[in-house]
Amino acid sequence: MAAPPFREVIREHRFERELRHLIRENRAADDFVSAAEIVLAHNPEIGSQVSEKVWFLPMSSIGDAQVSLYYTFDESTVWLLSIARV
């Protein structure tokens, strides 16, 4: 059985703003989420569902704060909605 195709990953504007607030340097911010983007593009159900359409994925800590990524997806796309300290 063939593996499902990778989904396109789209970063919403809110997500980009929040990410840059958490990590100011562009390259470091992109590096922080790149592995999550790859994993979610392949298997978005790896996270935990928090509502009918929104899921979250715990991320590595930044300093002493735990961070979670919130997203939604369909058969072809994953939308990164928000990233926040929890």
Report how far residue 40's alpha carbon sits from residue 2's, in angstroms, rounded to the nearest whole number: 18
Ordered by where they begin, the domains of the chain are 8-85 (3.30.2310.20)
Helix crossing, 13-22 with 26-42: angle to 10°? Answer: 130
Banded model confidence at residue 4, pLDDT cuts 50, 70, 90: low
Query: Tens digits of per-residue pLDDT, 17-67?
Result: 999 999 999 999 999 999 999 999 999 999 999 999 999 999 999 888 899
Q: What is the pTM of this model?
A: 0.91
